[in-house]
Amino acid sequence: AGEYGSDDGVIATNDDATSCKACAVSLGYWKDPYLACFLPSGPDRRPPEINRGFYCRTQAIYLLVQKFIQVNKGECQVVNLGAGFDTMFWRLKSSGDTPVRFVELDFPEVTAKKTHYIQRSKPLLQAISHDDYDVKLNRSNLHAFKYKLMGADLRVLPEVEAKLEESDIDYSLPTVFVAECVLVYMCTTKSSELLKWIAKKFKSAFFINYEMVNLGDRFGEVMLSNLRSRHCDLHGAAACATLLSQQERFVSEGWAGAEAADMMSVWERLPRSDVARVIKLEMLDENELLTQLFTHYCITMAWTDTRWTDITL
Ligand code: SAM
C-alpha cells in the first residue's frame, strides 16, 4: 500500500473475477478444469448476461494469445499483468500451445495465495513441472521451467523490471502482454509509464488490454459508481472514455499502432459455432442489458512491430 493507500479493494476484484469465471465454467460456457483449484468454496450463481460477458472476454483473449504463440511457433513470451488467478498457462499447455516463458505479475498478496493453491493441486503442479528443472518457490514468487509467478506492484517500474529479470525475461523475444481488467485500477500516469517502458524495453511487443470504455453516458456512470462502491477507486477511468482514447494511450507512449473494438464487435467475431452453442445454455430475458454491457467494455490490441497487425479475431 504505502504511498498509494490501501490496495485491499483492488486485490478483492480478483476474487470477484475468479468467482464469475467459475460460475460460467460450471454452466458449460467454456472448459477450464483448473479454475476450481483456486476456488475451493465453489462459485456463486451469476446472471446470464454476466456469464456471456465473461465468456466473450475470456475466449477473445485466449484466442489472441494462442494466435500470437502459433504465429511465433512458440518462440515468444507471454506476460500477464495483474493476472489474478487466471489459468491461461494451464489451458494453453493442455492444447499444446506453450511459449518459451509465461510470466504472471500481481500484488504479492495475490501471488502468495496463488502459489499456495498451486502447491496444493496436483494437476496445476504437474503442468508446470519439468524433469530437469526444480520448481523454486517462496511465499509470493514461484519459478518453474516455463511458468513464473511474481509479486510486484505494477505502479513501481523498478519492481516490475526486477521481477521480469528474475523470471529470466528475454527482451529480444516477441512478447505478448495481457492486461485483463487491470490498468483501470492504476492512475493514468502510472499506466502510461508502464506502457511507455514496455514499448522502449522490448524489441517486439504486442499488447491485449481489456477494460471499460464509453463511460461518458448514463449507463457508464452507473457502472462506474457500482464498481466504486463495491471495490475501490477506478483511478484509470479517464483513459477509458472512448475507443479512440484507448488507442491513443498506446500510440502516445511510443507504440506503432493500436486498434480498439467494443465487446459487441468482439462477440460478433468469435467462432460462430461456439457462440451458437453458448447462446443455448441460458435464457436471456433482456438482450438490451447484454448490449449495454458489451458496448461498455472493449479489447484494445497494440503493437510496436507491424508484424502483429495480422493478429486479430
Ligand atoms: N486479470 C485477472 C482476470 O481477469 O481474471 C484478474 C482481474 S482483477 C479485476 C484485477 C487484478 O489486477 C487483481 O488481481 C489485482 O490485484 C491486479 N492489480 C491491480 N492493480 C495492480 C497493481 N498496481 N500491481 C499489481 N497488480 C495489480
Binding residue per annotation — 154? yes
Number of domains in the chain: 1
Task: Decide whether any atom of ligand 1 lies within 6 Å of the 220 Cβ.
Answer: no
Band (175; pLDDT cuts 50, 70, 90): very high
Query: The pTM is what?
Result: 0.97
What ipTM does this complex have?
0.99
Binding residue per annotation — 82? yes
Band (291; pLDDT cuts 50, 70, 90): very high
Which has the closest alpha carbon to 56: 216, 261, 247?
261
Task: Decide whether any atom of ligand 1 lies within 6 Å of the 13 Cβ.
Answer: yes
Task: Decide whether any atom of ligand 1 lies within 6 Å of the 32 Cβ.
Answer: no
Residues above pLDDT 90, as percent of the chain: 84
Is-contact 239 249, C-beta < 8 A?
A: yes
Atom of ligand 1 nearest to the CA of 83: 1
Predicted confidence (pLDDT) at residue 1 exceeds the cutoff of 60: no
Task: Decide whether any atom of ligand 1 lies within 6 Å of the 110 Cβ.
Answer: yes
pLDDT at 228: 80
Cα 235 to Cα 121, 159, 186, distances in angstroms: 35, 20, 5
Structural domain of residue 27, as residue ranges?
2-310
Task: Say which CATH number the domain at 41 has.
Answer: 3.40.50.150
Compute the distance from residue 14 Cα to the ligand 1 centre, in Å.
Answer: 6
Binding residue per annotation — 2? no
Beta-strand ranges (E) seen in the chain are: 77-81, 101-106, 136-137, 142-143, 147-151, 175-180, 205-212, 257-262, 297-303
**Is the CA virtual torsion 213, 217, 223, 226 positive or negative?**
positive
Over range 108-121, report the average pLDDT. Answer: 97
Q: What is the DSSP string of 218-275?
A: HHHHHHHHHHHHHT---TTGGGGS-HHHHHHHHHTTT-SEEEEEEHHHHHHHS-HHHH
Task: Decide whether any atom of ligand 1 lies within 6 Å of the 182 Cβ.
Answer: yes
| pLDDT digit string, tens, across residues 180-230 | 999 999 999 999 999 999 999 999 999 999 999 998 899 998 888 887 876
Is-contact 255 192, C-beta < 8 A?
A: no
For 231, phi then psi, to 5°, come to: -120, -75
Is-contact 34 58, C-beta < 8 A?
A: no
Binding residue per annotation — 5? no
